[in-house]
Structure 1
């Protein structure tokens, strides 16, 4: 099979748009990916320092409130200031979510947006308190987005050593059994925590069935002791919490000096990043996400070879996928995940930027947050460290399909004004290969509302 502009938009982006041209070639897709990140500039998030200032003020007000509560004042000015802060900051935080949706809906580089989502899910992490829930958008912005076309080693280090990941996997609780901290404060030491080490090996690099054993998990966990996060602000390394001595991971020794160093952790991550098992795991996972639950073996092998031959260049692996004929098979095998479905619908409807920016608070929940939860993919909240399921069957539940139908009948009529003529809309979102039965249904619809919903719920739109 050869390149298809329509398939490029559906399979490797967020769908067709009546106002944005689809990619014209693989070369054009790669040039956009390797070029300037226009969407991040057009729909910018505030600097991460602003987020940290926001969470610092929350912690300050929370501390004052708790002090007042201990003194028996539960309805004083401290509580009022705390409540006012949460109320006034909520619209600002929701705007960051809107910016993320707008990037998917209006970007000219859909491949980049899909890759950001893919790698964010690969390094799934969510906030378990205010500090980190507030940082969810900026985790992807700082630890994922800059690295999706670079070396995997850089992405791996940025993601797993980000305060969000350390918080999510409880790394701050991990202390070396023979560390200075454990010896001096045994009652305060909670011992070794293997969460981060296990997920690095099992999910982030080598994959299930990779060349590691339980002893490698434990040795890596010991090597990671000392790695901590200072609230949501920065990575810290505390040698007094680190396990002294050398640790052996996959037969190679790391550390060994009297004073543990962050460089030892970075060294093992660099080695894991270019391991052949990592190449195979990532190649297959990417092929499953973009092309099919059972991807072509030759395509996966080509992607793995590109990764190995370039020391983990993600751009090279992506290019190998895009240049393989199996990537362009006409049959659409993958069922869209909820976020992809919702954003491709908004893109096809060309919902104006101003209309999306007006979605604050309740509006954002009504049209984005609540529907995604009902469809099974709560925004920014993966169910576990393995992210959301790639299996089509997971999303083809009666509840999930009912939620998609409800959204298709209710949201477009509110968000796209005027609602497009279904006879035009079906061509705008499905392109030249629109199935005859879908075209007939769009033309025969009794109303624009029903016609648009019929198109959005068609297998041709639901699959990519």
Structure 2
């Protein structure tokens, strides 16, 4: 494998795609270059906008407690507005509109927007979070760190489709629970995720209460098993990890009382002892004494060290970065590294990068819509507004922070390589290419962005393009660009 090809694979398989800066960041020693990105992770930053200042933000990317405080005030204001409107609404105003007037534009979650004032807070938060990420994605030398952020955010998926507060907290959740912990120990990442208000709200643990808890003396409130089940099935052990339904129920009792402070006290997490199920619980053969919040922490710590968790995480990493059919030997090496280092994720990534299979496997993986849009923007060196970026992801079938379920978006190429999906990519590629066509020669562009990978077939197709936008679009639609 030539140095150019190895560098190109670093950018396509492990990174966010080539840029006008070229492959220099990975030339010489591609493996070392990828690992170097993990030692100096980028910070998300953005200046405070006038809209955010008007809303009372102290920073463009506020922490969760501030967002919860803002959200409480926002909900109070909306309630007051509804009461005023209800008192002043006339019978004519209450009748449904029959004039064929267009509905409001859909919001981030794909739902019709309400009055503009009702959307100000969530839209301002979302716009800032996306703008900061677009800046980081464009500036990343290769993009390995950012790809790992995407991997873990999808592994520990939440969805803005849940509504408030997740719609407001999705970006902060990724910034606080995922980004700071993805190079440390899996235990710390797991604890940060399961304590975060966004996860607690998404999987309804804030509504779960122990059957015998002090706050449930009348027995009218119920135990919710959503979070316990997904921790075992998706976040740690995996579907065949050896747990039973009884383990799910007992674990759900252990984490009763894990809730959020909707007024924003502390870090947003709150343990409510009155909602906690009293007494010891036995999970997968081990009994955990009741010592409040610590009971749940000790269960999570054991799950983080379980061999089934090591295999589950190793399999998902290999499937994401290398092949839809993970090579068993590579999975075993990553799993062993996970166990031997007590879940040191940087050591696991190093095992992935060191493996020859990670570089020699056929480039059969298809870039997900999010990866494809980012790679296209980097290749063309063209900016995009946050709302346009969100719209592009919706059209391509991977709306940001809105997976179809707690298991996140699929990693399999077959899910994304549909006729409709590829046709939508064609439309986007042409639209983006038109922006830079006047100043960009498609043949030069193809040789530069596909350096180390370009085939004679692609080279010939681009040369025969009838227009510059068509030639540039052909580069973005080539197998060398679409696959990783």
1:155 aligns with 2:189: yes
1:64 aligns with 2:80: yes
Of 4, 8, 11, 2:10 maps to 8
- Structure 1 position 73, deviation (Å): 5.3
Are the counterparts in 1 of residues 72 and 263 from structure 2 also a CA contact under 8 Å?
no
* CA–CA distance in structure 2, aligned partners of residues 179 and 2 of structure 1: 65
Gap runs ≥5 in structure 2: 48-58, 94-114
3-state DSSP of counterpart to 2:452: helix
* CA–CA distance in structure 2, aligned partners of residues 434 and 84 of structure 1: 50
Q: 1:243 to 1:92 in 2, by over 3 A?
A: closer
1:337 aligns with 2:368: yes
Are the counterparts in 1 of residues 211 and 219 from structure 2 also a CA contact under 8 Å?
no
Are the counterparts in 2 of residues 274 and 308 from structure 1 also a CA contact under 8 Å?
yes
Following superposition of structure 1 onto structure 2, how do residues 290-305 of structure 1 map, counting pairs within 5 Å? 290-305=321-336
* CA–CA distance in structure 2, aligned partners of residues 319 and 145 of structure 1: 18
- Structure 1 position 373, deviation (Å): 1.6
- Structure 1 position 406, deviation (Å): 0.6
Q: Which segment is superposed worse, 66-75 or 162-171? A: 66-75
Are the counterparts in 1 of residues 261 and 270 from structure 2 also a CA contact under 8 Å?
yes
- Structure 1 position 85, deviation (Å): 6.3
Of 100, 107, 113, 2:140 maps to 107
1:78 corresponding residue in structure 2: none
Q: 1:84 to 1:279 in 2, by over 3 A?
A: same
- Structure 1 position 68, deviation (Å): 2.1
Q: 1:237 to 1:370 in 2, by over 3 A?
A: same
Are the counterparts in 2 of residues 377 and 388 from structure 1 also a CA contact under 8 Å?
yes
* CA–CA distance in structure 1, aligned partners of residues 34 and 230 of structure 2: 32
Deviation string 1:365-392 (CA, Å, 9 cap, x unpaired) is: 3xx2222122211111111000001111
Q: Which segment is superposed worse, 97-106 or 420-429? A: 97-106
Deviation string 1:75-101 (CA, Å, 9 cap, x unpaired) is: 9xxxxxx84463487355313212212
Are the counterparts in 1 of residues 206 and 259 from structure 2 also a CA contact under 8 Å?
yes
* CA–CA distance in structure 2, aligned partners of residues 292 and 419 of structure 1: 37
Are the counterparts in 1 of residues 209 and 257 from structure 2 also a CA contact under 8 Å?
yes
* CA–CA distance in structure 1, aligned partners of residues 36 and 263 of structure 2: 35
Of 239, 248, 252, 2:273 maps to 239
Q: 1:216 to 1:85 in 2, by over 3 A?
A: closer
1:30 aligns with 2:35: yes
Q: 1:301 to 1:88 in 2, by over 3 A?
A: closer
1:40 aligns with 2:44: yes
* CA–CA distance in structure 2, aligned partners of residues 265 and 330 of structure 1: 40
Q: Which runs of 4+ in 1 moved over 6 A?
A: none
Matched pairs, number: 441
Of 286, 289, 294, 1:252 maps to 286
Deviation string 1:207-259 (CA, Å, 9 cap, x unpaired) is: 01112111111110110111111238411111111111001111111123xxx
Tell me the TM-score normalised to structure 1 length.
0.89
- Structure 1 position 348, deviation (Å): 0.7
3-state DSSP of counterpart to 1:95: helix
Q: Which segment is superposed worse, 423-432 or 305-314? A: 423-432
1:452 aligns with 2:483: no
2:422 corresponding residue in structure 1: 401
Q: 1:130 to 1:214 in 2, by over 3 A?
A: closer
* CA–CA distance in structure 2, aligned partners of residues 124 and 305 of structure 1: 25
Are the counterparts in 1 of residues 122 and 168 from structure 2 also a CA contact under 8 Å?
no
1:426 corresponding residue in structure 2: 446
1:179 corresponding residue in structure 2: 213
1:208 aligns with 2:223: no
- Structure 1 position 168, deviation (Å): 0.8
Q: 1:209 to 1:88 in 2, by over 3 A?
A: closer
Gap runs ≥5 in structure 1: 76-81
- Structure 1 position 52, deviation (Å): 3.7
Tell me the TM-score normalised to structure 2 length.
0.86
* CA–CA distance in structure 2, aligned partners of residues 70 and 121 of structure 1: 41
Q: 1:210 to 1:244 in 2, by over 3 A?
A: same
1:166 corresponding residue in structure 2: 200
Deviation string 1:166-207 (CA, Å, 9 cap, x unpaired) is: 111111221111111111x433x1x11111010000000000
* CA–CA distance in structure 2, aligned partners of residues 449 and 296 of structure 1: 40
Q: 1:45 to 1:331 in 2, by over 3 A?
A: farther
What's the RMSD between the two structures over aligned residues? 2.3
2:103 corresponding residue in structure 1: none
Are the counterparts in 2 of residues 339 and 377 from structure 1 also a CA contact under 8 Å?
yes
Of 111, 116, 119, 1:86 maps to 119
Deviation string 1:90-115 (CA, Å, 9 cap, x unpaired) is: 35531321221232232125110000
* CA–CA distance in structure 2, aligned partners of residues 225 and 91 of structure 1: 33
Are the counterparts in 2 of residues 227 and 238 from structure 1 also a CA contact under 8 Å?
yes
3-state DSSP of counterpart to 1:432: coil
Following superposition of structure 1 onto structure 2, how do residues 184-195 of structure 1 map, counting pairs within 5 Å? 185-187=218-220, 189=221, 191-195=222-226
* CA–CA distance in structure 2, aligned partners of residues 179 and 370 of structure 1: 45
2:97 corresponding residue in structure 1: none
